[in-house]
Amino acid sequence: MTGFARALWRVVFVGAWVLASAGHVEAAGALAIGSCAAYGTSYDFSESETARVAALRKCSGACKVVATMRHGCAAYAIDGRNACGAHGYAAAPTLGRAQNVALRHCYKYGGRDCVVRAWACDGSG
């Protein structure tokens, strides 16, 4: 292989690597909840702490971050008959799993008509 061919091969290889890594984002997200069905979600942030702050800012009242995610999803379920009553939340690799676990916890803690109130997935969830 000539020097020119080696140099060209390196340019092609580096270019392909840059393009492949450009689409890869280390996404982070969070779910914050408060009383009476208050919630805030964030997703596709580069840092977990930034995602936590963003979720808290979107939540009204005295809220706390209950779930964080990286390459996954989070869901929040409430009792549709009593928004200030039983609730559940979960983070999981897939949206379906997060929603199922959140609903299961809502029923476990006394909910009678539990529904998913909010959900969020990061860039790859």
Range of the domain at 82: 25-121
Q: Are 47 and 122 in contact (CB under 8 A)?
A: no
| 13 falls within a domain | no
Alpha carbons 78 and 82: distance in angstroms, whole number = 8
Tokens of 48: 């977990």
| 112 falls within a domain | yes
Query: What domain count does the chain have?
Result: 1
Model pLDDT, residue 84:
95
| 56 falls within a domain | yes
| 94 falls within a domain | yes
Model pLDDT, residue 25:
54
| 58 falls within a domain | yes
Model pLDDT, residue 26:
63
Tokens of 10: 């390196």
pLDDT tens across the length of the chain (125 residues)? 565 444 433 433 333 333 333 344 568 999 999 999 999 999 999 999 999 999 999 999 899 999 999 989 999 999 999 999 999 999 999 999 999 999 999 999 999 999 999 999 987 55
Single pTM value for the model: 0.77
| 32 falls within a domain | yes
| 100 falls within a domain | yes
Nearest to 120 by CA among 24, 62, 52: 52
